[in-house]
A and B are shown apart, each in its own frame.
Chain A
Amino acid sequence: MSAETTLDQGHHLEHYDPEGSKTGMWLFLFTELLLFGGLFLIYAVYRSMDAEPFHHAAAELNRALGSINTVVLLTSSLTMVLSVNALQRGRAGRSLAMLGGTLLLACTFLVIKYFEWSAKYHHGIFPGSEHLHALPKGEGIFFNLYFMMTGLHGIHVVIGMIVMAVIAFRIRAGKVTTQRPGALEYVGLYWHLVDLIWVFLLPLFYLTN
């Protein structure tokens, strides 16, 4: 539809196809589902083969920190969606403030994660450590999956933050606007998926004992 409009008004030849971009974003999100799905599958298979060490190892994780981080991410999803809403209503300032809030909450998430991982590290629990090798096989698998899955998730958080920062500058520069809010909408979709994956990580690692 917008492609037609562009052709009609010959002086404005820039290609803009929000529907196509959104479809592309969703397709990318499906590949993300498959990526994490594979890891969830590994978790499910090993846990079904030998559940006891999984329960035992999960007791080592800090349930409170995992739960707090869930609240932090859910709240960051709210500020994200409010940021998109504000831009669509033409309130760029409020949109930027909400996006800034999302970035701040993302930072909070990573800081909490840092303390969590540091505590594990001090107990000799990290991938490839001697302590991990000495543990029963199932517990080692649990901790390796924990680092692999929360680590991959953490990388997604970092990438999301970088993209959000870029888009914040583009909103300020007037490139992402009420008329063309696509970029903000798509990073929003991505951010909600990152949140969605964490929603599944919480019970699998922190609430299993």
Chain B
Amino acid sequence: MNHATTMEHAPARHHVLPDGLFVLVWIGLLLLTGTTVGASVFFPGRIGIGVAMVVTPVKAALILMYFMHLKYEKVGYQVMFLVAVGILAIFMGLTFFDYLQR
């Protein structure tokens, strides 16, 4: 009886993604890290910083979408995340603008 109750509670439609997918994401993250570090060693200055500014958000997106499952969550979570990041962007943008105008 008790066991049946526990089964009722099982998150039946929960996505269990294949381990291989996560290994691939991890390899991707390592390659991107290598790219950023390599660019900063061989092309210090503008190019190195530019590569980091492009690659780092891509790495962040991979972690969020796959490791944190955001890609497979309900739309509500994705909207919540975008709102939070949007607020952070407004808060950083306005403060930054204020400093630049002084």
Contacts and interface: CB of A to CB of B under 8 A. Distances in A.
Interface string B19-54: 100110110011001001100110010001100110
Interface of A: 2, 5, 9, 11-12, 16, 18, 22-23, 26-27, 30, 33-34, 37, 40-41, 44-45, 48-49, 63, 67, 70-71, 74-75, 77-78, 80-82, 85, 88-89, 178-181, 188-189, 192-193, 195-196, 199-200, 202-203, 207-209
Interface of B is mostly: helix
- Name, among A27, A30, A178, A188, the residue most crowded by chain B CB atoms within 10 Å (CB to CB): A30
B75 interface: no
Contacts, number: 125
A33 B84 contact: yes
Contacts of A48: 96, 99-100
A82 B37 CA distance: 27
Contacts of A67: 33, 37
B5 A82 contact: no
B36 A34 contact: no
